[in-house]
Amino acid sequence: MPQGPKGRLFTGHTKDFQADPLAYFTHLANEYGDVAKFRFGPFQNAYLISNPDLIKEVLVTKQKFFIKSKAMHSLEDILGKGLFTSEKEFHMSQRKLIQPAFKKSHINSYGQNMIDITTDYLSTWKDGEERMITQDMMSITLGIICKTMFSMDLKQGYELLGKSVETVIRMAVKRMRTIFQLPLWIPTKNNRQYKKVIQELDQVINSMIEKRRENPNDHDDMLKILMDAKDDENRLGMTNRQVRDELMTTFLAGHETTANALSWTLYLLSQHPEVEKKLFDEIDTVIGSRPPTPDDFKNLTYTQNIIWESLRVYPPSFIVEREVEEDVMIGGYQFKKGEMVMVSQYVMHRKPEYFDNPDSFIPERFENNFLKTIPSYAYFPFGGGPRVCIGNHFALMEAVLVLVCIAQRYRIKLAPDHHEVVPFPTITLRPRRGLRMVVEERKSD
Ligand code: HEM
């Protein structure tokens, strides 16, 4: 029987988890080892698994014994049966239909959108001004996803979708982490507001789908790929409802995470001038003063390692959660139907067995095929197995190209009177109270 701390009778360990999930999970892994037992509320048994081989069993080899957790399923109110929330055969067949949108050749063409949107956005920055960088990164990645998915420009995207998306994410997170969720049909103030923003988003997305059904060849974007997709057997495409769910899913899964990765990276660079210098040197050598192109990506190897290391230190997805669907043995322990299993990138990425000086930011550690020297599930910023992030290559390319557009022109420093920067774990890991940073043009170097 896995060991764990003694919890309170009614709340179990909910309060410890909610107060500081990162500290609590680190404590559980340090004190109780590979499998630690704890409890949400009076009855919900949960386990934190912190051994790479066992994590692989949960995510890959024995994944069919698991489904997504209840908290993740509560996102169905907004995501419907999109890739993130659907299960089993339906998930597999949808994944097959959607995969072409993330093919390498498409991602390269999205690369140009990434550069154009970022360059356009940066044209409003003024030398020496202080900016809310966390907000800027959200706007840039929102712009990129609007452009790649619907061929919308940044301004249009923000006006039509930006505000509702921010509200919906905030409300979904709040709902997810409430233990006793009231069903959405009960007309509480929060529920009414939540339903209203979902409806607003639906209207925009549905009208785009309908317009596109009328003029299918209007644009060459992700929406077109999704609408053209047909399954192999029956040659059937997706219904409007299904296209809506997948768009909403990609839209929400695909911009906040990358925005957080970029914000953390800019923060880490501001604290490590030696890394920042090597970044500038690489950009100056590979690109110089001409505009970046998607093709530069492959030559920006140090920049790629900066992103890998930033995803290690501050993984935007810091927990992956599952519910046991059928009793299963893992690591010599029996897990029962209905129990919860959690694995944490934050905990694993900071284990000294796999990472020297785990709390330090050292992009060089990723050189010389470092990942081949550690077990595969010691480092897994994008999850793994059949549910591995479908946008992983997209995200890496986006993070590298946005960072390069910024660093080609600007050096970014934390505002002198900044509050202490600490991670704030919600669905994703973001800097608490945001990042205020001063942007200085590099030409004054
Ligand atoms: C740095 C950025 C990102 C990180 C760290 C990240 C992380 C993750 C993780 C850990 C999962 C697996 C969750 C689980 O197994 O429960 C996931 C799934 C997913 N991600 Fe990402 N993601 C990022 C960017 C993106 C982007 C850019 C897109 C789309 C454009 C995207 C779309 C998705 C989708 C649709 C899923 C569900 C896949 C499935 O279940 O089949 N993500 N992501």
Domain residue extents for the chain: 51-444
pLDDT value, residue 164: 83
Looking at ligand 1, which residue's alpha carbon is closest to its atom 39? 387
Pick the CATH number of 51-444 from 1.10.3720.10, 1.10.630.10, 3.20.20.370, 3.40.1190.20: 1.10.630.10
Percent of the chain with pLDDT over 70: 98
Ligand 1 centroid – CA 384 distance (Å): 10
Ligand 1 centroid – CA 226 distance (Å): 17
pLDDT value, residue 352: 97
Residue 179: pLDDT band with limits 50, 70, 90: low
- Those residues with Cβ within 8 angstroms of residue 123's Cβ, 6 or more apart along the chain or in another chain: none
User: Which residues surround ligand 1 with Cβ inside 6 Å?
Assistant: 83-84, 95, 249-250, 253-254, 257-258, 261, 316-317, 320, 381-383, 387, 389-391, 394-395
* Per-residue model confidence as pLDDT tens digits over 21-61: 999 999 999 999 999 999 888 888 999 999 999 999 999 99
* Per-residue model confidence as pLDDT tens digits over 250-305: 988 888 999 999 999 999 999 999 999 999 999 999 999 999 999 999 999 999 99
Ligand 1 centroid – CA 10 distance (Å): 34
In this model, does residue 94 exceed pLDDT 60?
A: yes
pLDDT value, residue 71: 85
In this model, does residue 177 exceed pLDDT 80?
A: no
Q: Which residues are annotated as a binding site for heme?
A: 389
Q: Which residues are annotated as a binding site?
A: 389
Residue 242: pLDDT band with limits 50, 70, 90: very high
Burial group, residue 130, by CB count within 10 angstroms (0-12, 13-18, 19+): middle
Ligand 1 centroid – CA 257 distance (Å): 8
* Per-residue model confidence as pLDDT tens digits over 115-148: 999 999 999 999 999 999 999 999 999 999 999 9
Looking at ligand 1, which residue's alpha carbon is closest to its atom 1? 258
pLDDT value, residue 341: 97
Mutational pocket test of ligand 1: of 81, 97, 389, the residue with most ligand atoms within 8 Å of the beta carbon: 389
